[in-house]
Every structure is written in C-alpha cells, then in structure tokens.
Amino acid sequence: MKKLPFRIFLAIGAFLLTVLLYVDRACISAAKVSITHDLGLSKTQFGWILAVFTLGYALLQAPSGKFADKHGPRIALTSIITIWSVLTALTGAAFGFVSMLIMRFLFGVGQAGAFPALTKIVFNWFPFKERGIVQGFYSSGSRVGAAFALPLVAVMITVIGWRLTFLTFGLIGLVFALIWFLLFKDKPEESSLISEKERNYIIKYRQQPSAVKVKLPFIKVLASGNVWLAMGQYMCSNFTFYFTLTWMFPYIQERFSLGAVTTGLYSMWPLLAGMLGNWISGILVDVVYKFGNLSLSRKTPAITGFLLASFGMIMVTQVDSIGMAVFFMSVAVLGADMTLTPSWVFCIDIGKDNSGVVSGTMNMAGNLGAFVTIIAYPYLREWTGSNVPFFYTCAGLSIVAVILWSLMNPHQAIVKE
C-alpha cells in the first residue's frame, strides 16, 4: 500500500486545529440562554460579551502574525492553543458581566495568531499549485467546528451545565497543544517524519523564500494599497459571517420559537454550507490558476461568493418559513466563505516571507468589522424594531466588496525582489 504524503496529514492536523478553534469560539452562542439567566445579563450586555472577543482578536492579529514570521508556526501555534484553551476553561468561572467581558477579551487575544500562523505553514510546506485547496480544506474546519458546536453544546449544557462544558473544551485544547508541539516542525527540512522524495518535491515547487530575509515594518504593510483593499473586503465578508457565528442561533430560536437543541440542528446548515463554500473556492483557486491566470484565480471565487452572500441575505428577509430562512442563510454563508480562501492566498501572494503579518493585518480589519456587526445587530433591532435593516446592510457591504476585489492585484508584492 502506497504511503500517503506527510503534508496530507499536516493538512488534516490544520483542519482539526480550526475545528477546535471554532468549537471553543462558537459554544458561547449556544450557551446564551443559560449564561444570561445565571449571570443576569441583558441582550445588549451579551452582545458586548460576544463583540469584545473580536476586539481582542483584531488588535493582536498583526503582532501575533509577526511573532509567527519570526519564531515559526510551531512555537506560535503551541502557545496560541495553550493560551486560548486555558481561557476557554476559565470562561466557565465567570461570575458576572465584567468578569465575562474580561475573560472573552483575553480569549480573543489568545486566539489572535492562529490563522496568520497557519498561512506560514502553507507557505513553508505546500507547493504553489496546491495552495488553494489546502487553504480551503483547513479553513472549512472552522465551519465544521462551529456547526457541530451549536447542537453539541446545547446537549452538553443540559447534561453538565455551561460551566463544566467550557472546562471540558479547555482541557481538550491543552491535549491538542501538546500533540502539535511534539509532532509538527516549522519546515519540511526540519522534520524526520517526511520522506526525502517528498521533502525535495516541496522545496522545488513551493513559493520560494526571498534570497535575503527582508524585515517588513508594520507601517510599510499599511502603505500598500493592496493591503487596504484586502482589509476592506474582509471586513465586508466578516460582517455577514459573524452574524452566523454569534446572533444566528438566538435569531432563529426567537423568530421561530424553537427549543435549544432544535435550534442548534437548524443552525448547523448555514455553517456546513460555509464548509462547502471553502472547498469550492479552494478548488476554483487552483483550477483557474492551472490555466495560467493568477489574478482571475483569486478574483473569480471571491466575486462570485460576495454576489451569493448579498442575494442570500436579502432573501432571508423575504421568506416566512424556517426551512426557507435557513436555506437562504446557507446560500449567504456559502458565498461569504467562498471569499476566504482567495483572501488568505492573496495575502501569501503579496506578503511572501512576511505572509504572517500581512494576513494578520487583513484579519485585524476583518474582525474590527465583526466587532461592529455583533454590536450593530441588537442596536439596529432596538432602534428600528426590525431585523431587516441589518440584513440589507450585510447585502450592501457584499456589493462594496465586489468593487474592492476588482481593484486587487496579486502580482504586486509588498516587498520587491
């Protein structure tokens, strides 16, 4: 039997890492009723608890990306997984609004560097022509994690309560961090688990590091028009997706008067559609690239995705049944997630050796958008008495992102060779 290439196991490990990342991130949404009841929180207070995570997450994106560039993804990810797992466990010890607010802010800080560090793995370990499908595959793990977290957490809370549920997920994360540290190396040149044939193949066909390692100050990253375009479109993408990750569960539960477990089962489908969107865009990136057009391989899935996201969010407001509402939400999330792979691959294209800090900068902007999303939803509903303005805002921002993508240029690296 032919031995599978080691980089396949590495891609699976990255996929499982993002599953865990989003299980820990999404479980608070499914625990909303229990947490607000036990801690005496209002809807707007809970909105701030959801949003403050993205603030901590956004602020540490670029510094943690730079840390991954400097020290390598092995140390970076081991540290990140350990920190966020401890804070997941400590979330179960919160005793009021302020303590929960602090805990979730620090939890966001702890998770900040995960995806920037993963871009370094793609840069170091995978041939250029495999970049799209690998990025799409491991990114889809985040949607699988969020999808299954919603019904799973609903069941766990009924059995052991929300405090022990958070403790359980924290302990699982610490075990994962240890395994990652023991088995993973920064580059194929350093790993004893990879064959010489595969090592030579990767080195030959991956994007080549710069001949001289060039330090990239953060101010130079911000001087790039390409980076600002990437930041803007990623904010638009997160505006749609983070509603799904935070407010979709309570929105469905309240609008259609459902129980927690039933709501969790319905809420899975848009997130699983997001997984499919990651796969589709990952394949499209690589297939279009094989025809020799780097720019179209990034723009085609992204622009298609944003058009679907806009259509889906508008249609959610036009239907009355739970089935159709979930279907169109799934269309919107599939589209929004089709934009992720080209976004992160674009950062590797223009960032190269410094892809960690470049992707971290883009993700910082995206999560500032997510922060606004999570706060905007309850306040817009309170001011207007309707959910409709929020959905139309998401749709409009997706159209703005289409315009931004038309201006982005993956050939224009930040640091010239």
Mean pLDDT over 37-46 rounds to: 88
Q: Give the residue numbers spanning the domain of 99.
A: 6-407
Please tell me the predicted confidence (pLDDT) of residue 241. 83
Side-chain half-sphere CA neighbours of 233 within 13 A: 34
pLDDT at 1 over 60: no
Domain annotation covers residue 412: no
Provide the number of structural domains found in the chain.
1
355-392: buried (b, 16+ CB within 10 Å) or exposed (e) per residue? Answer: bbbbbbbbbbbbbbbbbbbbbbbbebbeeeeebebbbe
For 328-339, how does the pLDDT look when each residue is reduced to its tens digit (9 = 90+)?
999 999 999 999
Domain annotation covers residue 307: yes
pLDDT at 417 over 60: no
Distance CA 339, CA 132 (A): 12
Domain annotation covers residue 190: yes
Chain-centroid distance of CA 229 in Å reads 18
Which one has a higher pLDDT value, 169 or 369?
A: 169
Distance CA 134, CA 274 (A): 16
Which tokens hold the place of 359?
Answer: 């992707």
Domain annotation covers residue 355: yes
Please tell me the predicted confidence (pLDDT) of residue 308. 97
Q: Tell me the CA distances in angstroms from 342 to 134, 175, 321, 336, one per residue in order.
A: 12, 32, 34, 11
C-alpha angle with apex 128: 125 to 130, nearest 5 degrees? 80
pLDDT at 366 over 60: yes
Please tell me the predicted confidence (pLDDT) of residue 239. 85
Question: What is the model's pTM?
Answer: 0.75
Please tell me the predicted confidence (pLDDT) of residue 416. 63
Which tokens hold the place of 266?
Answer: 């319905």
Domain annotation covers residue 416: no
pLDDT at 302 over 70: yes
Amino acid, res. 271: L
Distance CA 272, CA 329 (A): 11
DSSP secondary structure, 83-139, as one string = HHHHHHHHHTT--SHHHHHHHHHHHHHHHTTHHHHHHHHHHHHS-GGGHHHHHHHHH
Label residue 30 by pLDDT band (50, 70, 90): confident
Distance CA 352, CA 321 (A): 47
Domain annotation covers residue 417: no
Domain annotation covers residue 414: no
For 103-162, how does the pLDDT look when each residue is reduced to its tens digit (9 = 90+)?
999 998 888 888 888 888 888 888 878 878 887 888 888 788 878 887 888 889 889 999
CATH of the domain at 84: 1.20.1250.20
Residue that is written with structure tokens 């959801």 in the block: 50
Domain annotation covers residue 208: yes
The proportion of the chain whose per-residue pLDDT surpasses 70, expressed as a percent, equals 97
Please tell me the predicted confidence (pLDDT) of residue 386. 85
| Nearest Cα residue to 343 out of 95, 50, 103, 132 | 132
pLDDT at 283 over 80: yes
Please tell me the predicted confidence (pLDDT) of residue 142. 79
pLDDT at 247 over 70: yes
Give yes or no for a contact between 87 and 106, defined as CB atoms under 8 angstroms apart.
Answer: yes
For 146-183, how does the pLDDT look when each residue is reduced to its tens digit (9 = 90+)?
788 878 888 898 899 999 999 999 999 999 999 999 98
For 182-233, how does the pLDDT look when each residue is reduced to its tens digit (9 = 90+)?
988 888 898 888 888 989 988 887 766 555 556 677 788 888 899 999 999 9
Distance CA 355, CA 19 (A): 22
